[in-house]
Amino acid sequence: IHQAGVYGTDNMLTEPFFSPTVSVHCETNSCTVASWGQQARIPTTFSSSVLFVSRYTDCGNGVVEHTSIVHNMDDPDDGSSVPLNYLNMPWAGIRTSNLNDILLSGTDGSSSAVSKPIQPFSSSGFYPDLVDTGGYTTFAQSLIDENREPFNLPCSDGNLGETECPEVNKESVQL
């Protein structure tokens, strides 16, 4: 299931079909968008029960925070519920021809060295499970210093102000 919509592999469907936007809410410094994820390849007998929610917040000083939520809208009581058991987050949806360098966060607040080239997101073992990261990933163009200081995770008070980031560890994070 893709947030960007379906692949255009059908000769009869020549126009792109993107995942429908079901809600948009914007405030002074942020916008939240919800979209209904679509099956990647059509035609298919499968349906999609995935709602993607993305919030973009201008935290000031050139910092933009992206918060991503994936919600399974399946009704577990109808007997046909399918668990969401593969989420390639927080690194999905990057155009690697443009953003070709990646820094993965560690649970201790560190970031790994630049990984070149970026491996396919379906590669087994290259990308850690979300719970084994600091919860964020940095993509950039043409990073040259592979031994730089780690990026600090920016935190905001929600009112355009910066704040201390809470201490987070695996035991305190509930996904």
Tens-place pLDDT, residues 60-85: 877 777 788 888 888 778 776 777 76
Q: Is the pLDDT of residue 151 over 90?
A: no
Q: Is the pLDDT of residue 157 over 70?
A: no
Annotated domain spans of the chain: 1-85, 87-175
Q: Is the pLDDT of residue 92 over 50?
A: yes
Q: Taking residues 87-104, what's their average pLDDT?
A: 66
- Say if residues 90 and 67 touch (Cβ distance below 8 Å): no
Tens-place pLDDT, residues 11-59: 776 677 778 889 999 998 999 999 888 877 767 777 788 888 888 899 8
Using a cut of 0.75, tell me whether the model's pTM lies above it: no
